Amino acid sequence: MIIVMKNGVTSEHIAQLSKWLTERFGVQVNPNYGTGTTVLALLGDTSSVDQDALLRDEFVERITKVQEPFKLANRKMHPQDTIVEIAPGVQVGGNKLVVMAGPCSVESREQIIDVAKHVKAQGATVLRGGAWKPRSSPYSFQGLKAEGLELLHEAHRETGLPVVTEITNPAHIELFMDKCDCFQVGARNMQNFELLKELGHTQKPVLLKRGFANTIEEFLMSAEYLMAGGNKNVILCERGIRTYETYTRNTLDISAVPVLKRISHLPVIVDPSHAGGIYWMVAPLARAAVAAGADGLMIEVHNDPAHALSDGAQSLTYESFEETMGSLRSIAAAVGRSI
């Protein structure tokens, strides 16, 4: 349930009303002070809330029910865009697009530091790299694990770039806590609810990737798990879904971008690398994502794609990353954004 307040309502009045709603009806009240309009989002069992009494409040404009199962992630509950700050000055969801770039996997100190320096020079503001790699085959490279995390932290110290890296196990949260700036929840773990619940108890930003066989509503329900635990710093990432098409690794669901932006207030980024699955598709898919209104991109870049330990085929060389960034700048400008 949402209570839209009239202009001019004071914070004292809202505090008083919230207290009454909580004590009388046992609901949780989340006030959102927007520019002009203040909205109170009510969570829990709202069936007993006395709507007539509420409408008699001189500052209540109207009451509406939220039909969708996702509440905290719903734009109706939070009309203004959420901006997630990954590190001081690195925001996701504002006018400036975020570019997260780096190798699929951290492979060595030299590799991660070299890639970090190059992507930073080309305008990336977040370094990506997997330390724990959830691979489809148990025989594939599984990541450098704790050592990889340490190397990411070194690359951060060397370049100043904040780090996003995938977490697969709630038992690792403590370990990740001061080694990265943003958790990544991969497509394969989008519905690992125990992981989501635990990450929801931290305040560190979470980049949540859409599962390749999940609907947009399921995607937002996973965001809801994080938010219900108290973590509002959620970034959504469309990375392609499984369809009957075999030419591409996944089918980039570009329509998910405007849909998510419309029904949720959370920032949305796109990963064109895992969507197309091949290097030459990355730039056109990235441009399409920016044109469609994405708040940023996650792109795999490798110092030597031919010898990468994972996802070499879709990784960009430094040269193609530079070219891609150049073409993205003009698309961003055309839609009133910057990189």
Q: Which residues bind ligand PEP (CB under 6 A)?
A: 104, 130, 186-188, 209, 239, 271, 274
Smallest separation (angstroms) from ligand PEP to the CB of 155: 16
311 binds Mn ion (CB under 5 A): yes
- Binding partner of residue 129 among Mn ion, ligand PEP, none, CB under 5 to 8 Å per kind? none
Q: How far is the CB of 237 from ligand PEP (least distance, A)?
A: 7
Q: How far is the CB of 274 from ligand PEP (least distance, A)?
A: 4
Considering beta carbons, is residue 186 or 305 the nearer one to ligand PEP? 186
Nearer Cβ to ligand PEP (118/209): 209
Q: How far apart are CA 317 and CA 307, in angstroms?
A: 12
Smallest gap, in angstroms, from Cβ of residue 186 to Mn ion? 9
Number of residues engaging Mn ion in binding (CB under 5 A):
2
The residues, ordered by sequence, that sit 6+ positions from 102 with a Cβ below 8 Å of its Cβ are 112, 115, 116, 119, 124, 127, 128, 129, 300, 301
Determine if 271 is a binding residue for Mn ion (CB under 5 A). no
Residue type, 312: G
Task: Tell me the C-alpha distance between 270 and 290, whole Å.
Answer: 9
Per-residue interface string for the shown chain with Mn ion, residues 102-131, x marking contact by CB under 5 A: --x---------------------------
Neighbours of 337 (CB within 10 A): 20
In the bound complex, what is the minimum distance in angstroms from residue 209's beta carbon to ligand PEP?
Answer: 4
Distance from chain centroid for Cα 252: 16
Per the CB < 8 A criterion, the answer to whether 180 and 165 are in contact is yes
Helical residues (DSSP H) of 131-278, grouped into ranges: 146-159, 173-177, 193-200, 216-228, 256-263, 272-276
